[in-house]
Structure 1
């Protein structure tokens, strides 16, 4: 049987009794980084007087998926108690565990996902910006045009948008929003559930000033308020296709609407003619 177990995102006491019971019985642990997971197991054994002793550890991450699934024996998922844990938080949310879910489904393997700590939902609940719908984008591209396009799409969303961000890029993220839409409301939380958890909520231009000299260490979750321009009639791809303008201009407009590269769209348009 395969179990996907959420791990605490900062506070060790957030682990559930059910997770502890399964860990105490498991034969195999699949994880992102075995060093991180072994340290985590050591802390649990010490804190809760347990004797968690899996016989095998396997690493599964974005760089070894093909190799992992080519070698891992499917029979182990049937005959043994196998646990997948992410480094922190809910498995399969911006996490390679999703590939293991697909593998289990493809091979008709029974699996169960337990509920638990999740930075995404914690930030949504704490933000005061989400009443119902929201969009989750995970981590944006690190830099370059892809990042600019992703951020513009986020700002165009009719729903609040949730983004994970590293301490190295969070200030750049906020200042970028401040330049594009200085009055857009933003909620940001760092080190969620930890001793030095800190929350920020302000308009982008004000938040950029606050973060300039702040301690940015720790993982961040950012919630950007929905675009106010949600009741206007939306421009569609068909609307742009019908415009009597040059392919180059049309490609630029379609790029902003779809997020695709201008050159790719331009080539498609010219090949059609």
Structure 2
């Protein structure tokens, strides 16, 4: 940032609150106030922040960046940055570039050698994962599932094959169907459900998928949902969740068996190190 009144030319990805306006950071306020332009998915989402920040006549210029017109919108934004302007990109809520087209604009800016800066803040995926009670050393982020067809089946299979916790977003009108689909694959897998995160009627729930499909049809299905699938229970006491091919590859590393077992345990934390050692020793 060069002076009190202007930002360095570049693209600023500004995280905005999911619901509670108190979650807007001071840096986000500063960037939204001082940027040459602010771009959002809708003009309403941008104007809302101009009004809340009481920018008046000093407000930045308004730009759009929509999925349906991202090529045209992106070209305009990149052109302005190339001319020496600063552009703040926001999503409707949360962190831009996460499960929205913003990542493509970032890639194009980087390809042109333009500066890109994050202004970190709220993110529904990380918020839900942090309070899910599931191990979060590593996780799989799926975002929104495809709505139907082969793509949806493939996505469900990916989730089932992942031993790590998996984070999904879902809309209210597809939420129950998604629970049903997930349950049909592995009914005893645990799931954490966050509804209307940080808002007045925020709700959290945790249980098995089989319980979820029984209980949620009787609950309020409104607002945005963030789902966290718990780690898949691979036959952890038998070590059979690790394929024989992986065992063979570990042997080919030509390191002590104890070290190989420790290495595989790092990759597959739910596995029994004792059983991995036994299989490596066979």
> 1:111-137 deviations in whole A, cap 9, x for unaligned?
211110000100110101123110000
Task: Report the Cα offset of residue 221 of structure 1.
Answer: 0.6
Query: Structure 2 length normalisation: TM-score?
Result: 0.77
1:32 pairs with one of 11, 27, 41 = 41
Task: Report the Cα offset of residue 109 of structure 1.
Answer: 1.1
Matches within 5 A, 1:237-248: none
1:150 matched to 2:150? no
Partner of residue 87, structure 1? 92
1:116 matched to 2:121? yes
Partner of residue 159, structure 1? 164
Greater CA drift, 149-158 or 61-70: 61-70
Q: Tell me how far apart the structure 1 counterparts of residues 103 and 52 of structure 2 sit (CA, whole Å).
A: 26
Partner of residue 250, structure 1? none
Q: Tell me how far apart the structure 2 counterparts of residues 51 and 235 of structure 1 sit (CA, whole Å).
A: 65
1:41 matched to 2:46? no
For these two proteins, the number of residue pairs brought into alignment is 232
Q: Unpaired segments of 5 or more residues in structure 2?
A: 1-8, 246-282
2:217 pairs with one of 197, 203, 212 = 212
Task: Report the Cα offset of residue 100 of structure 1.
Answer: 1.6
State the SS of the aligned residue for 1:64. helix
Q: 1:163 to 1:73 in 2, by over 3 A?
A: closer
Q: Tell me how far apart the structure 2 counterparts of residues 131 and 113 of structure 1 sit (CA, whole Å).
A: 23
State the SS of the aligned residue for 1:63. helix
> 1:135-161 deviations in whole A, cap 9, x for unaligned?
000101012232122112201211111
Q: Unpaired segments of 5 or more residues in structure 1?
A: 237-273
Task: Report the Cα offset of residue 97 of structure 1.
Answer: 1.4
State the SS of the aligned residue for 1:147. helix
> 1:225-266 deviations in whole A, cap 9, x for unaligned?
122126424387xxxxxxxxxxxxxxxxxxxxxxxxxxxxxx
Partner of residue 16, structure 1? 25
- Name the Cα RMSD after superposition: 1.9
Q: Tell me how far apart the structure 1 counterparts of residues 49 and 228 of structure 2 sit (CA, whole Å).
A: 29
| 8 A contact 2:41–2:66 mirrored in 1 | yes
Q: 1:185 to 1:31 in 2, by over 3 A?
A: same
1:106 matched to 2:111? yes
Q: Tell me how far apart the structure 2 counterparts of residues 117 and 225 of structure 1 sit (CA, whole Å).
A: 22
Q: Tell me how far apart the structure 2 counterparts of residues 51 and 196 of structure 1 sit (CA, whole Å).
A: 32
> 1:99-118 deviations in whole A, cap 9, x for unaligned?
22112111111221111000
Task: Report the Cα offset of residue 15 of structure 1.
Answer: 0.2
1:185 matched to 2:190? yes
> 1:86-107 deviations in whole A, cap 9, x for unaligned?
1110111012211221121111
Greater CA drift, 99-108 or 215-224: 99-108
